[in-house]
Amino acid sequence: MIENSGATLLMRASDRINSVCEVILFAILALMTFFTILQIVCRMWFKALTWSEEITCFLLVFASFFGICVAFKRGANITVNFLRDALPQGPRRLLLMAIEAVGMIFFAVTGWFGGALCVSERFQTASSLPISMSWIYLIFPLSSVIAILHLAARLEELIRFPDTRPR
């Protein structure tokens, strides 16, 4: 990312949202560790907890989607660079812009269908927890909006600062 002095509102929002996502991701991983250890202790010496495995699975899904958001912000997602590196600066920039645009379309579709899933499953409850599955499925539209924000900020960076080194 470029220095914050030249950053636009979109870039600063992306940075701030990413900071929040990193904290949430850390908290989710800590909670997963806590509930897993709690389940082991209870299973060994007490009565097994019926809900801890399900909550750990849900937390794993949340960690995965928040991890996707953080990876997109950092440019740490998997890429194949041989074509990008073989292109001159102008076409390379266009390719990177197209990649960001395709990513935004993908996450828009994911967010749309995730939102529809939230609505359609609002009366379905988790098997061992008394919560609506809509709260679980909310991660799809939420992470999609965050990923689109990061991709839009990177696209803006590519447009405004063409000499910026690609990820």
Give dist(CA 4, CA 69) in Å, integer: 20
pLDDT at 165 > cutoff 60: no
pLDDT at 28 > cutoff 80: yes
Give dist(CA 165, CA 167) in Å, integer: 7
* pLDDT of res. 148: 96
Assigned token pair, 96: 């990177």
Instruction: List pLDDT tens digits, range 54-99.
Output: 999 999 999 999 999 999 898 777 776 777 778 888 888 888 888 8
Average pLDDT of the chain is: 88
The predicted model gives 145-159 an average pLDDT of 92
* pLDDT of res. 4: 52
- CA neighbor of 80 nearest in space, from 91, 101, 66, 95: 95
150 Cβ partners below 8 Å, 6+ apart? 14, 17, 18, 69, 72, 73
Instruction: List pLDDT tens digits, range 104-128.
Output: 999 999 999 999 999 999 899 888 8
Better-scored residue on pLDDT, 128 or 167: 128
Measured over the CA atoms of residue 105, residue 110, residue 111 and residue 113, the dihedral's sign is: positive
* pLDDT of res. 48: 80
Q: pTM value?
A: 0.84
Number of H helices, E strands in the chain: 6, 0
Per the listing, tokens 């908290």 go with 27
